[in-house]
Structure 1
Amino acid sequence: MNKAPTISGENILLRQPIESDIEDYLKIEHNEELMRMYSGDPANIKPKTRADAERFIQKIKSNPLEWCIEYQGRCIGQARLTVDKRDNRARYAVGLFDPSTWGQGIGQEVTNLVLDFVFHELSLHRLDLRVLEYNKRAIRYYEKCGFIKEGVEREGALIKGKYETDIMMSILDREYFQA
């Protein structure tokens, strides 16, 4: 598979980047909560530049299984799979950089679309992810999608001068198909 296919949901579209995504990314400034959820230090917030936006979109383009998340005609985030073919598994990451879209079920819709792709199209055995322990909103929707907490990495991320813990979650193919 050369590039991630376009996947349509009820409210969102997972697709390859287009030129206007650079502008969409530039329109939304970083904020403290966003930086914390991306495990960055909010003290390092600085205005985005066109070069930042171009790098962000180019990074999505360069990964064969990464999508821009389109909502209401604009790019609001990205979703990525990193596949390990030998072990028939993938690591999942999703991020919505537009805070005005948080709490609307978009992350859950994206995750359900990716789960369908992972288990029906790629026929993988396992999908896993890491999420910061304080990101309760994401943990709730991952659990609603069928992910199970399976471990922690204690104090593995230094954020704003404090060591934070990651939660490891996964879903297996049989669990997905049973749900």
Structure 2
Amino acid sequence: MNRTDQNSTPVRFLEGPSVYLRQVEPEEAELYQQTLFDPEVRRLTGTQRTFTQGQIRTYLEAKGEDSSSLLLWIALKDSDKPIGDIALQDIDRNNRSANIRIAIGGSEHKGKGYGSEALCLLLDYGFGILNLHRIELNVYSFNSHAQHVYEKLGFVREGVQRDALFYDHEYHDSILMSILEDDYRRLYNNKSTE
């Protein structure tokens, strides 16, 4: 479980005030499957398929070997409990770009800033360590809360893919948003001087 031994605490890859990010291990396929079957997570991510634990384990093993992707748990600092996952994927070193996605499970974890904190941690890593220039994401039109959070973090709406998702008997648009390194650095520098 990404631990130095069975009795130690998880290795923290990136750490903020309330949450930390750590690698998702193949042995955690059952826990990851539970996250994927959370009805609200499925709706907000547009997940339509089901997955066996074996399929998830294979997926997690492949992610661990994939240098163009980083899949991490979002865990609470005070309990080490994973409350969702976040990924930086399609990392393109030539064009210095990537895609980011996030999912927080359980209504008790929403609206507390955990997602924003996790996004800031991974954006800082993407721009400050991986030297990326552009990070993009897609969000469905019915998720206005997420759109607001992304805009607050500096993402800019670039376009709309009309009727990109068929879910719950109707079509929904997918909104493309991105943030560039200069925008992020300007926002980060302004916050650090406040």
TM-score bin, normalised by smaller chain: 0.7 to 0.9
1:92-103 matches, within 5 Å, as 92-103=100-111
Q: Please report how far the alpha carbon of residue 167 of structure 1 lies from its aligned counterpart in structure 2 after TM superposition.
A: 0.7
1:169 counterpart SS class: strand
Structure 2: gaps of 5 or more residues: 1-11, 188-194
CA gap of 1:29–1:129, structure 2 versus 1, over 3 A, is: closer
Deviation, 1:21, is 4.0
Q: Given the alignment, which residue of 121, 128, 136 partners 1:120?
A: 128
1:33, distance to aligned residue in structure 2 (A):
2.4
Q: Is the 8 A contact 1:17 1:60 kept in 2?
A: no
Q: Give the aligned partner of residue 80 of structure 2.
A: 73
CA contact (8 A) 2:24 2:71 kept: no
Does 1:130 pair with 2:138? yes
Asked whether 1:7 is paired with 2:10, we answer no
Does the aligned pair in 2 maintain the 1:24–1:74 contact within 8 Å? Answer: no
Q: 1:115 to 1:17 in 2, by over 3 A?
A: same
Match of 1:30 among 25, 37, 58: 37
Letter in 2 for 1:102: K
Report what 1:140 is aligned to: 148
Q: Which amino acid aligns with 1:37?
A: L
Aligned residue identity for 1:73: D
* Secondary structure at 2:150 match in 1: helix
In structure 1, stretches of 5+ residues that fail to align are: none
Give the whole-Å Cα distance in 2 for the aligned partners of 1:75 and 1:158.
29
Q: Is the 8 A contact 1:124 1:173 kept in 2?
A: yes
Structure 1 contact 91–128 (Cα < 8 Å) conserved = yes
- Offset at 1:58? 3.9
Moved more, 29-38 or 91-100: 29-38
Which stretch of structure 1 is more off in the superposition, 49-58 or 115-124?
49-58
CA contact (8 A) 1:60 1:68 kept: no
The answer to which of 98-107 and 156-165 deviates more is: 98-107
Q: CA shift at 1:154, angstroms?
A: 0.6
| TM-score, length of structure 1 as denominator length | 0.81
Bigger shift: residues 111-120 or 62-71: 62-71
Change (3 A) 1:102 1:59: farther
2:102 and 2:109 mapped to 1: Cα distance?
Answer: 13
Q: Contact 2:35–2:84 at 8 Å: present in 1 too?
A: no
Range moving further from structure 2, 137-146 or 24-33: 24-33
**How many residues align structurally?**
171
Bigger RCO (CA 8 Å, 6+ sep) = 1
How far the C-alpha of 1:74 sits from its partner, in A, is 1.5
Look up the match of 1:167. 175
Q: Which moved more, 1:158-167 or 1:19-28?
A: 19-28
